[in-house]
Structure 1
Amino acid sequence: MIAVTHPQVIAVRRSARVAHVALWAFLLVNLAVVQAMYVLAGPAHNLAGSIGRLLGLYLAFVMALQLLLVARLPILDRGIGMDRLTTWHRWTGFAVLWLVLLHPAFVVLGFAQQDRASYARTFLSLAGQLPVLLGVLATCLIVLVVALSVRAARRRLSYETWHAVHLLLYAVVVLGVIHQVYEGTAFKINIWTQVYWWGLWTFALGALLAGRLIVPLARNARHRMRVAAVVPESGDVVSVHVTGRHLERLQAAAGQFFLWRFPEHQSWWQVNPFSLSAAPNGRSLRLTAKAIGTTSAGLRDLPIGTRVYAEGPYGAFTLAQRSRSGVLLIAGGIGVTPIRALLEDPAIGSDVVVLYRVRSTADAVLLGELRNLARVRGARLHVLTGRTGGGNQPFQPENLATLVPDVTDRDTYVCGPAPLTRAVVASLRSLRVPSRQIHAELFRLAA
């Protein structure tokens, strides 16, 4: 196998390096500034108060970072990928939880020690002040959202319900900023600290508004997308064809996804990330979804001509990321949709192997299309059926190496349920496939 040196691939690698360098530089510079602000502010009345002040500074910065990770910044999305950004957003969310619990705990402890009063009495006294009360409300909302984001709780909620609850974080941001205005003494040391702090929040909020509201509104006004056809693929899977004006200007690529809304048919807050299930051709877009939540289950009832509001394209799960000429595509269940689109992309070449994992051939969505595309591309297609367990574990390292003996010389793209994706990635690493050749897409998205 030879390495891919296409100009587009080189440009994507360069943008990935730029994105990582920019993000690390942003983190290190801001952490240094936060630490300097803490030093300039001087010690609090006691050790507990000083710790509480420092944790408050870090909390405010991490909250701003949270906004930037989900602001749909092109430099981050194209260079890193929204899937990975969402993972980082989730972990920084847990950091916010600990900071939002520890910051007030140490602040109250500091005041209790200073006043020689009980902890409970000091807390009630402080909570009676409006700025502190707003901080308490923000803390309660964060605890609620994080509790519902824990995997055990998340499984019991529909995507639409979880997404709606997640929107409470915007209320947290508002409450947190107001709290900082009144209580953030370290932000007001001098004109430079004020300029820095409000510049940081202006940048974070501005990026969020631009990426999540202004740019999508402008794009949808330009493209005027509508439902052109609704095609049932099986009992619980449906494809929706969307047309519009000048769709080629979206510069969408096979493997990417959009956030789809159908405002004339469903509530505005009902939004789902669906991958393109066909390579974009500049004239139409196609999504294919399984009826899991309220939104996806209602797609088969969409009237022709329904207005479509789409945000995107997003994601770095594209052929521009590959480094080798040979490609291995692995799909699990409905995760076949971006895999099918990648197989249709003319840039994929002819050295392609496709592994499609399903319970039975009856569950193999778009199988006919995959077979036709594999025939046209000269690709090898393996449909792997049956329950996983015992002797039927195709993604164990030795079994995967048997199916694809030259797996280490290929770029692998895998999309499917989280357990399948994690198993495949673990096996690839066990087989010593370089990380730059592993491209995984998971079904998850932050609000």
Structure 2
Amino acid sequence: MTATATATATATPVHRADPRTTPRWYPDVGGTAAALSLLIVVALWVGNGGVQQLIGGGAEAVSAAGRLTGLLASDLLLLQVLLMARIPLVERAFGQDRLARWHRWAGFTSFWLMVVHIVTITLGYAAAANTNAVAELWDMIWTYPGMLLATAGTLALVMVVATSIRAARRKLRYESWHLLHLYAYLGVGLALPHQLWTGADFVASAASRTYWWTLYGVSAGAVLVYRIGLPAWRNWRHRLVVDRVVPEGPGLTSVYLSGQRLAELPARAGQFFQWRFLAGPGWSRANPYSLSATPHGEQLRITVKDLGDGSSRVAGLRPGTKVLVEGPYGKLTGESYSGGPVVLIACGIGVTPLLSLLGELPYRAGEATLIYRARTEAELAFRGELEWFARHRGVRVVTLLGPRADRPSWLPADLAGRADSEMLREVAPEVAAAHVYVCGPEAWTAPVRAAALAAGVPADRLHTELFAW
């Protein structure tokens, strides 16, 4: 099948598996619930005498501060689990980019609160017992119920945090980082017995026990249902397999997938799945790939660039290979689009979700502009499909080629002398009145967002997806 034929087969907006729009009040409710959980933790600490102990001074005050930081750390840690539990309501309200940022913020904040908790509790107990802090810490680990498990959990969380620092992430393969990151669940699980057996604020009152058991139960339930149960059910129901593998260019491969009842799979153009191809070593590690063609109920297509171990194996997949997926995820969809101008801005492999959006969005001829940024002519993919969109749906395709500018900019080096927003208005004069969809690397996407906002694009019409982890 030629690229043009493929575009014709997938470009007509005939299938929207999940046409529901997300109510605007979802994000407000989610943010309020998160803030309320922290207030409840503080209120329970106050109700258990925390303020009086703090005012009283001495060893008791230090221990009271340690208990509060420990409670806040635990609450943020569980909120962090909920943020990345792939709860559909939460995904639809915030999108993966925002959730990932909050997950990162909550994780680092929780970690440092945990460090303060360990230090202050140790100092408070040591002062009360009139003993050395190091000896007190050693005694707590070996004699307090649940503390050995909590220590192991803390070490697991230290490893997760250390490998989440940007400098460390750059030196790790995605597959390795993802595997190490799963130890966060182990850290959370190992901390629970310590709170049950020795946490004064956990067992002090019925209200405390109810709150913490509920939060732990909801967090564990969300992971079991949405990270394990729902993906398992969808994989059993849809039974995806590789239909064929098509080279698209140097280091670029498309995989076409078939299965059962695909029209019932709630996938929209612009979304991504976590993919596992059951084809030898490495199958257990999932990789995130966006749909590169509009899902139409008969086939799915992803396009993968050779950037690591997982992506390099894709080119060698054979027809019939079984596939496991988690998803769909992502908020880079047309759910809020009701017509009018559309500007899609892609960098490199970031063109894939935007290509699928071109097929789904119901724009009229002449209303859509695709700005495609690449380093060289050879890196431009899907030429046949882009030509089809230009001829049959009136899409204007603008390519910007060349190396990176020597300043933070979305423009190539030969245009770096122009203001980013000015150049955006020149390339897409209708941008201020358009829905703008952006996908690419994090360092490139930030200048695009800034340029779009400076060019007059309302924030609620600016939709982004980062190709980052």
TM-score class, shorter-chain normalisation, is over 0.9
Q: Normalized against structure 2, the TM-score is what? A: 0.89
Listed as ranges, the matches of 1:73-84 within 5 Å are: 73-84=87-98
Cα distance per residue 1:149-185 (max 9 Å; x no partner): 1111111111101101111111101111122112222
Residue of structure 1 equivalent to 2:41: 34
Residue of structure 2 equivalent to 1:112: 126
Of residues 444, 457, 460 in structure 2, which corresponds to 1:436? 460
Residue of structure 2 equivalent to 1:398: 422
- Residues 416 and 73 from structure 1, CA distance in 2 versus in 1: closer, same or farther, beyond 3 angstroms? same
Cα distance per residue 1:185-215 (max 9 Å; x no partner): 2121222321221111111110111000001
Contact 1:40 1:189 in 2 (8 A): no
1:148, distance to aligned residue in structure 2 (A): 1.2
- Residues 188 and 37 from structure 1, CA distance in 2 versus in 1: closer, same or farther, beyond 3 angstroms? same
What 5-or-longer segments of structure 2 have no aligned partner? 1-15, 54-58, 406-412
Of residues 70, 76, 91 in structure 1, which corresponds to 2:105? 91
SS of corresponding position for 1:347: coil
Identity %: 38
Listed as ranges, the matches of 1:232-311 within 5 Å are: 232-311=247-326
1:329, distance to aligned residue in structure 2 (A): 0.3
Contact 2:18 2:268 in 1 (8 A): no
1:9, distance to aligned residue in structure 2 (A): 12
Q: Does 1:410 align with 2:434?
A: yes
Q: Report the AA paired with residue 325 of structure 2.
A: A
What 5-or-longer segments of structure 1 have no aligned partner? 1-6
After TM superposition, the structure 1 stretch with the greater mean CA deviation from structure 2, 110-119 or 46-55, is 110-119
Q: Does 1:51 align with 2:56?
A: no
Contact 1:323 1:411 in 2 (8 A): no
Cα distance per residue 1:343-362 (max 9 Å; x no partner): 12252433001100001110
Question: RMSD between aligned alpha carbons?
Answer: 2.0
Q: Normalized against structure 1, the TM-score is what? A: 0.93
Cα distance per residue 1:341-396 (max 9 Å; x no partner): 11122524330011000011101122321222122210111111011325423771
Q: Give, in whole Å, the separation in 2 of the partners of 1:99 and 1:148.
A: 18
SS of corresponding position for 1:171: helix
Residue of structure 2 equivalent to 1:68: 82
Contact 1:16 1:80 in 2 (8 A): no
- Residues 260 and 37 from structure 1, CA distance in 2 versus in 1: closer, same or farther, beyond 3 angstroms? same
Contact 1:141 1:168 in 2 (8 A): yes
Cα distance per residue 1:134-161 (max 9 Å; x no partner): 2222222222211111111111111101
Residue of structure 2 equivalent to 1:18: 25
Q: Give, in whole Å, the separation in 1 of the partners of 2:448 and 2:18.
A: 24
1:84, distance to aligned residue in structure 2 (A): 1.4
1:316, distance to aligned residue in structure 2 (A): 1.1
Say how many residue pairs are matched.
Answer: 437
SS of corresponding position for 1:365: coil
Listed as ranges, the matches of 1:209-220 within 5 Å are: 209-220=224-235
Contact 2:242 2:319 in 1 (8 A): yes
After TM superposition, the structure 1 stretch with the greater mean CA deviation from structure 2, 179-188 or 166-175, is 179-188
Q: Give, in whole Å, the separation in 1 of the partners of 2:43 and 2:175.
A: 42
Contact 2:441 2:468 in 1 (8 A): no
Q: Give, in whole Å, the separation in 2 of the partners of 1:345 and 1:395.
A: 32
- Residues 332 and 428 from structure 1, CA distance in 2 versus in 1: closer, same or farther, beyond 3 angstroms? same
1:291, distance to aligned residue in structure 2 (A): 0.8
Q: Give, in whole Å, the separation in 2 of the partners of 1:157 and 1:434.
A: 37
Cα distance per residue 1:207-257 (max 9 Å; x no partner): 111000001101111111110001111121111011001001112111011
After TM superposition, the structure 1 stretch with the greater mean CA deviation from structure 2, 238-247 or 311-320, is 311-320
